[in-house]
């Protein structure tokens, strides 16, 4: 992801400055993670289990349904320095594309074993990790189905609070999603994450770095 941010910065510089001399003397422009709508399904009620493993709920013997994945990443500032002790809210639909929220009218089934919401703190290097399942797509209106995505809200004193969404690279529904396609490049690419499994791992992993803007 750091390479992606560096490439995005270079593209912005090329597009905004006309000559090589001006590029050499201009400051580097920071690319922060694009904002995305919070949506209507932010968790409305406190729940006892909001740990980093959303595939299991305390007191339940069965795991959540669906493909287990792990999302890791770092929260960074505009200079690429880690942001420690940032609060990271993560929430999403279950494998069927339904949120455990009273306002979700999707007739898809609920999963009583899916946690659906995690609250994390970044470590000294700005790192976070969450274990979850790949969410399902769901219909919004006629002709618009939202692709699988995961919501993130990040808060830290001294930075603007950021709400955004992470998408799965290569999903065909990305091309017609109105929210994702409303983000101009290079920011759109920052929201797309590739998932793959290492040879010794059965769980697919993806890296999603998040860049905050200072107050």
Q: Annotated catalytic sites, by residue?
A: 99, 138, 146, 149, 151
Q: Please, which contacts does 8-17 make with residues 24 or more away whose CB atoms are closer than 8 Å?
A: 8/186, 8/187, 8/189, 8/190, 11/185, 11/186, 12/186
Helix (H) / strand (E) containing 5: helix 2-16
Q: Is 128 helix (H, G, I), strand (E, B) or coil?
A: strand
Q: Is 149 helix (H, G, I), strand (E, B) or coil?
A: strand
Cα(128)–Cα(113) distance, integer angstroms: 23
Q: What is the DSSP letter of 174?
A: G
Kindly report the number of other CB atoms within 10 A of residue 125's CB atom: 12
Q: What is the DSSP letter of 118?
A: E
Say if residue 48 is exposed, middle or buried (CB neighbours under 10 Å; 0-12, 13-18, 19+).
Answer: exposed
Q: Is the peptide bond before 186 cis (omega within 30 degrees of 0)?
A: yes
């Amino acid at each position: 992801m750091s390479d992606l941010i560096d490439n995005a910065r270079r593209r912005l510089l090329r597009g905004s400055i006309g000559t090589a001399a001006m590029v050499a003397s201009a400051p580097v422009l920071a690319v922060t993670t694009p904002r995305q709508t919070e949506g209507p399904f932010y968790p409305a009620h406190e729940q006892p289990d909001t740990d980093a493993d959303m595939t299991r709920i305390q007191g339940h013997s069965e795991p959540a349904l669906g493909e287990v994945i792990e999302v890791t990443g770092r929260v960074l500032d505009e200079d690429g320095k880690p942001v420690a002790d940032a609060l990271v809210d993560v929430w999403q639909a279950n494998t069927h594309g339904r949120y455990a929220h009273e306002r979700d009218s999707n007739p898809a089934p609920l999963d009583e074993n899916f946690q659906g919401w995690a609250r994390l703190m970044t470590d000294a290097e700005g790192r976070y990790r969450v274990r979850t399942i790949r969410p399902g797509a769901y219909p919004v209106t006629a002709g618009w189905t939202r692709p699988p995505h995961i919501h993130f809200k990040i808060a830290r004193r001294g930075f603007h609070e950021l709400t955004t969404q992470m998408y799965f690279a290569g999903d065909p529904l990305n091309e017609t999603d109105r929210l994702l396609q409303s983000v101009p490049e290079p920011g759109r690419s920052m929201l797309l994450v590739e998932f793959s499994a290492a040879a010794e791992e059965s769980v697919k992993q993806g890296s999603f770095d998040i860049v905050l803007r200072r107050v």
